[in-house]
Structure 1
């Protein structure tokens, strides 16, 4: 058994933390409740949108990976979702959005 929390619980936690911080969070695509990967579109107030997800960093440890494409952010996540129906896609607009995601899904 894995020590990781189910993806649905992690998504709920990020949405709640975003709301508690006065931000806006929404699920754009629902994935597998237990083990679906989570792709987060994060934006600081007045800042550009970026895509981040859990992955392995340069040291081989779990890290938050920047997956922002050069262009067509919406098309990118839609193509990813078409290939992986278990993928969660969420959008968080709040101060410290990337830190919030890192603390929730990239912690060991």
Structure 2
């Protein structure tokens, strides 16, 4: 049986609304497919130390948000180059930015 799930647009809007309520700043950098687009979240704190999260499927349960940037094997690569490649590869991709302390905790609470 297929599990019902929220649309990508609803998840993005909910995350941005929650970040704004908590006193942070959230913005959509790139809109993707409204229903099923993948979502990448750039988490920063006071404009510094970017981390990139993506929802990844797990083998034994629901999908979870995982940090995919920075990676040790890609230290030389600039985040902007990585994002440009990803959006070129997946035109349905959502890209959002959340500027709030401990964004990972907030995202985990929402899901």
* TM, length-normalised to structure 1: 0.85
Structure 2 unmatched runs, 5+: none
Q: Please say which of residues 71-80 and 83-92 is displaced more in the overlay.
A: 71-80
Q: Which runs of 5+ in 1 are unaligned?
A: none
Bigger proportion of residues as strand? 2
For residues 87 and 3 of structure 2, the distance between their equivalents in structure 1, rounded to whole angstroms, comes to 24
Which residues in structure 2 correspond to 1:1-108 (within 5 Å)?
2-45=3-46, 47-57=48-58, 60-61=60-61, 62-69=63-70, 70=75, 71-104=77-110, 107=111
Alignment TM-score, normalising by the size of structure 2: 0.83
Q: Which has the larger radius of gyration?
A: 2
Assess if the C-alpha contact under 8 Å between 1:56 and 1:65 holds in 2.
no
Moved over 3 A (4+): none
